[in-house]
């Protein structure tokens, strides 16, 4: 990977070109997809900044395929991404969390060899109160014959992703992506309208400081999940307690934990036995990023990137973040952890024991 000095100014376009040069067989199609996503992100960032002035806050009055109320910005962001991506000749189909079916490439436009799956505006219900929101995306290679993409092209395990990323619209707009060559972050400079490299080769701390979980569902959790949360809070196993940070925006909570260390947990529970988050639009792309940064992502029983999807809008439990905390979740939910006694042992240093 090309190394840059602290004083060099590296645009996302330059960075992508430099990465592409490492692969002589590259056609430039994947690079073009990333450019188009960056353009769409700038357009969405502009809409988010002006949402309170442009009458695009609040509910649209319609529901998405999951039965959730769509926000005006959900619909607008979805349209922006589709229009930015459907004519470049690089994609053969798209799928969105906001759309019930595959989005085909319009007739008259060339079809490429990739499919794009995306959540156009994660956390949009928080936009009215100025909580950060985000866009999440995943790119897969087409695996079927024929001109257009099919459901089979979409339903691939996450380990087959060729690119994934997210954009967070907060105090600044930041795009983080991976193509399997590390995770890299770019901050939008509003004075020039360009994403500039600000966080090269992101590495998540091996042991986390923060826990992001909606514990209002505690009464519906299994006994194993309750035990896990007691470990995270330092009430069992002698672990140092994690500080709870949860704003209800997956991108915002994930971004904090990626940079500072921590775990985001959305367990399955009695009211959502299959989990709540979407495998293809949320869990897979963030799992690809976190693994490239040295972390882990799990359903609580298996690696997220190994899950074989069966439905376009499939849901999954998710434990994602620092390696120590996610591995602890795997062990406890598998019934392998026994009490380690007291003693204030820090995580990663014998904070729990595993029954073999």
Statement: residue 102 has pLDDT above 60? yes
Statement: residue 211 has pLDDT above 90? yes
pLDDT value at position 49? 87
Tokens representing 42 are: 């700038």
Question: Under a CB-based contact definition with an 8 Å cutoff, are residues 159 and 174 in contact?
Answer: no
Picking from 18-22, 58-62, 209-213, which range would have the lowest pLDDT averaged per residue? Answer: 58-62
Q: How many CB atoms lie within 10 A of CB 230?
A: 15
Tell me what percent of the residues of the chain surpass a pLDDT of 70: 87
pLDDT value at position 310? 98
CA dist 77 and 73 (Å) reads: 6
Statement: residue 266 has pLDDT above 80? yes
Tokens representing 336 are: 């392998």
pLDDT value at position 238? 74
Tokens representing 298 are: 């799990």
CA dist 104 and 115 (Å) reads: 10
pLDDT grade, residue 239 (50/70/90)?
A: confident
CA dist 49 and 45 (Å) reads: 6
pLDDT value at position 8? 76
Question: Under a CB-based contact definition with an 8 Å cutoff, are residues 70 and 98 in contact?
Answer: yes
Q: Which residues are annotated as a binding site?
A: 97, 119, 121-125, 214, 246, 276, 282
pLDDT value at position 58? 47
Strand partners of residue 303: 298
Domains and CATH numbers, the chain: 12-202 (3.30.540.10), 210-334 (3.40.190.80)
pLDDT grade, residue 3 (50/70/90)?
A: low
**Ordered strands of the 91-96 beta sheet:** 103-104, 91-96, 114-122, 133-141, 161-169, 173-178, 183-189, 194-199
Q: What is the pLDDT of residues 322-336, one digit of tens each?
A: 999 999 999 999 988
Mean pLDDT value across residues 40-47: 96
Statement: residue 216 has pLDDT above 60? yes
Rg (CA), the chain: 20
The alpha carbon of 229 is separated from its chain's Cα centroid by a whole number of angstroms, namely: 22
Q: What is the pLDDT of residues 47-100, one digit of tens each?
A: 998 766 655 454 544 545 555 555 688 899 999 999 999 999 999 999 999 999
Strand partners of residue 140: 115, 161
3 state SS for the chain: CCCCCCCCCCEHHHHHHHHHCCCCCCCCHHHHHHHHHHHHHHHHHHHHHCCCCCCCCCEEEEECCCCCEEEHHHHHHHHHHHHHHCCCCCEEEEEECCCCCCEECCCCCCCCCEEEEEEEEECHHHHHHCCCEEEEEEEEECCCCCCCCCHHHHCCCHHHEEEEEEEEECCCEEEEEECCCCEEEEEEECCCCEEEEEECCCCCCCCCCEEECCHHHHHHCCHHHHHHHHHHCCCCCCCCCCEECCCCCHHHHHHHHHHHCEEEEECCECCECCCCEEHHHHHHHHHHHHHHCCCEEECCCCEHHHCCCCCCCCEECEEEECHHHHHHHHHHHCCCEECCCCCCCCCCCCCCEECC
Statement: residue 20 has pLDDT above 70? yes
Mean pLDDT value across residues 231-242: 90
Burial status of residue 107 (CB atoms within 10 A of its CB: 0-12, 13-18, 19 or more): exposed
Q: What is the pLDDT of residues 172-209, one digit of tens each?
A: 999 999 999 999 999 999 999 999 999 999 999 999 99
pLDDT grade, residue 338 (50/70/90)?
A: low
Query: CB pairs under 8 A, 24+ apart, for 124-127?
Result: 124/71, 124/73, 124/74, 124/77, 125/69, 125/71, 125/248, 126/247, 126/248, 126/249, 127/48, 127/51, 127/57, 127/71, 127/73
pLDDT value at position 130? 84
Q: Which residues are annotated as a binding site for Mg(2+)?
A: 97, 119, 121-122, 282
Whether this prediction's pTM lies above 0.85 is answered by yes
pLDDT value at position 340? 46
Residues constituting the chain: 356
Q: What is the pLDDT of residues 120-173, one digit of tens each?
A: 999 888 878 888 999 999 999 999 999 999 999 999 999 999 999 999 999 999
pLDDT value at position 343? 37
Q: How far is CA 270 from CA 51, 217, 221, in A?
A: 36, 9, 7
Q: Which residues are annotated as a binding site for substrate?
A: 122-125, 214, 246, 276
Tokens representing 141 are: 């290679």
pLDDT value at position 136? 99
């Amino acid at each position: 990977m090309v190394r840059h000095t602290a004083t060099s100014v590296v645009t996302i376009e330059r960075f992508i070109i430099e990465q592409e040069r490492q692969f002589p067989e590259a056609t430039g199609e994947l690079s073009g997809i990333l450019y188009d996503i960056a353009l769409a992100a700038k357009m969405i960032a502009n809409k988010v900044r002006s949402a309170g002035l442009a009458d695009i806050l609040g509910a649209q009055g319609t529901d998405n395929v999951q039965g959730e109320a769509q926000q005006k910005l959900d619909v607008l962001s979805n349209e922006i991404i589709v229009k930015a991506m459907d004519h470049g000749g690089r994609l053969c189909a798209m799928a969105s969390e906001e759309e019930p079916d595959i989005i085909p490439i319009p007739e008259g436009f060339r079809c490429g060899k990739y499919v794009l799956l995306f959540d156009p505006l994660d956390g949009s219900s928080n936009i009215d109160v100025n909580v950060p929101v985000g866009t999440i995306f995943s790119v897969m290679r087409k695996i079927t014959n024929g001109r257009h993409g099919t459901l089979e092209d979409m339903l691939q395990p996450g380990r087959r992703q060729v690119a994934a990323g997210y954009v967070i619209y907060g105090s600044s707009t930041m795009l983080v992506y991976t193509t399997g060559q590390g995770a890299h972050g770019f901050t939008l400079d509003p004075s020039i309208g360009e994403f500039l490299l600000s966080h090269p080769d992101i590495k998540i701390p091996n042991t986390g400081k923060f826990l992001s979980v909606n514990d209002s569902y505690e009464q519906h959790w299994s006994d194993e999940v309750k035990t896990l949360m007691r470990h995270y809070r330092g009430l069992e196993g002698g672990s140092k307690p994690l500080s709870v940070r949860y704003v209800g925006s997956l991108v915002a909570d994930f971004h904090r934990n990626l940079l500072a260390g921590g775990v985001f947990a959305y367990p399955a529970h009695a009211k959502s036995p299959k989990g709540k988050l979407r495998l293809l639009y949320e869990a897979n792309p963030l799992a690809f990023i976190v693994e490239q940064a040295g972390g882990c992502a799990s359903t609580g029983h298996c690696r997220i990137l190994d899950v074989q999807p069966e439905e376009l809008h499939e849901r999954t439990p998710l434990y994602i973040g620092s390696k120590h905390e996610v591995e602890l979740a795997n062990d406890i939910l598998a019934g392998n952890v026994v009490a380690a006694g007291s003693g204030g042992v820090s995580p990663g240093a014998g904070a729990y024991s595993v029954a073999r």
